[in-house]
A and B are shown apart, each in its own frame.
Chain A
């Protein structure tokens, strides 16, 4: 997932924003860390004490060979083994939509991290809506290139859906950033309806209320 995004957006503006949320020297867990690009960045720029969980064994082995602390596992099964508030920041980047139970995953993240960063593709984006309405078929975009039958993304949501979930589980939205058109940051004053319509992806900084 991250490799493909990296190819689509060489700068990975989302990683830059996520890194901006993290305070120097923080203990960080990156859930779905891929080959460890974000962890590497956080260790270099923020002197973070970084750990990762990654589903693909290939990704894990590459990250460990690069000197990062990564275990093979997935967000649905392995978060439960971590103690409460074990990390200053827990990051779930572009992975929520691929989990079996996004609500439980989000609750686990809020349990083990003081702050939680979640980024996800916005299924409410106008291009996706247009494709669905005009073709009557499941949308396939540059960022979400899978067919319905082979996609790992089994729980898509819109920005509005995600905000609703944060309310249901009583999480506090500390910051939120929406990205549109090749990684431009959307004005914070813009209303949620517009975010929901225009954003390609959204990044939320959450905490326990």
Chain B
């Protein structure tokens, strides 16, 4: 047990160091290039940690932006510098993969408010010299997309061939298509919604309350006090993780099987395998993720309601768009179920947009977008190739 704890502490130190100096390129924006936030203030200076794969072609027409989910990062297809594990979408992105880095120039940026090199609550506030903590204004999905657009400007790219992402990444895809339609040739929102449902806000609130109820959270000032709300964040992750999996998959993997024992202990240790699994998910998460960042990410998703910026009519967000869309959902996803995705499709139809919609049969739940789902790969590969053909990508 002791050596595991040591490893977790090491991982935590490594994760903390990523906030300012990530193991990836960083775009720094000075005080002269402020980022206007939906909260009504500007953020400056700020930085964006990002990763790229493949080569940008001569006419800059093969750039693909991948948007990561709640607890993801820019390390899509390389070994993660903190966990040492393969990139979170290495099945999807790479040479010969559906998002083929031999053909496309793939970009992924850590989102604003994140903790892997883009300015977030764990970054140093130049005013105080300490971590921002809760002094960072609340970040929205639209703010994240604005920051990404500034990065894309910096990279000298006018129009992206495609913007893709699942879950919170899918929300960013929708926001990109609505905010910058002329800069998005094709868009693939996966397992997401145009607004965060009441049920999902409720789940997020449970997670945030777990973090804030941990005495080591210290009103968000844990870093400067040398503490860390590990227990609260682990509980938040455990609760959230249940929502990422389907009932069938939990049953298939764990059923009611006992963990390293033959009978119930009549106590509150992890008798069941599913308990042990969740505890592991919780404890391995706290080593790599900043608790305040978790609050900011969940809040950004809660605030997302694309139609509200367009008179309450979602179709108006896409009126006149020339972007080609491919919406993807999964049958067993109960966090962003198919009807939520279908609402996006219907709005796109009402805007006479070019849209495809694929629902994939799987018991992988919401997390299916991260898993080995051959039909999703075939969909993304075929859609992306057709988009590249139509744009005349050489």
Contacts and interface: CB of A to CB of B under 8 A. Distances in A.
B358 interface: yes
B353 to A, nearest CB: 9
Nearest to B378: A65
A147 interface: no
Contact of B346 (A49, A69, A81, A86): A81
A45 B382 CA distance: 20
Nearest to B345: A71
B357 to A, nearest CB: 4
A115 interface: no
A6 interface: no
B26 interface: no
B361 A71 contact: no
Interface in B349-386: 349-352, 354-361, 375, 378-379, 381-383, 385-386
A66 B346 CA distance: 22
A51 B354 contact: yes
B378 A82 contact: no
A82 B349 contact: yes
Nearest to A64: B356
A72 B358 contact: yes
A71 B356 contact: yes
A57 to B, nearest CB: 6
Interface string A58-84: 001100111111111100001001110
A53 to B, nearest CB: 9
B389 interface: yes
A66 B383 CA distance: 7
Contacts of B190: none
A72 B357 contact: yes
Residue of B358, B359, B361 with most chain A CB atoms under a 10 A cut-off: B358
A82 B383 contact: no
A61 B378 contact: yes
Given A60-B357, A71-B357, A72-B358, A83 B382 contact: no
Given A69-B324, A71-B345, A64 B358 contact: yes
Interface in B82-128: none
A34 to B, nearest CB: 15
B355 A69 contact: yes
B326 interface: yes
A66 B356 contact: no
B355 A64 contact: no
B358 A60 contact: yes
A154 B268 CA distance: 59
Contacts of A81: 346, 349-350
A70 B349 CA distance: 11
B345 A83 contact: no
Contacts of B358: 57, 60-61, 64, 72
Contacts of B381: 65
B357 A82 contact: no
Interface string B327-364: 00000000000000000011001111011111111000
A95 B355 CA distance: 22
Nearest to B331: A57
Contacts of B351: 83
A82 B355 contact: no
Question: Which has the most chain A C-beta neighbours within 10 Å: B349, B350, B360, B361?
Answer: B349
A82 B385 CA distance: 27
A113 to B, nearest CB: 12
B359 A72 contact: yes
12 contacts: A49-B354, A60-B359, A64-B356, A65-B379, A66-B382, A67-B386, A68-B356, A71-B355, A72-B358, A72-B359, A73-B357, A83-B351
Nearest to B350: A81
B316 to A, nearest CB: 12
Contacts of B378: 61, 65
Contacts of A57: 358-359, 361
Nearest to A65: B382
Contacts of B326: 64
Nearest to B338: A72
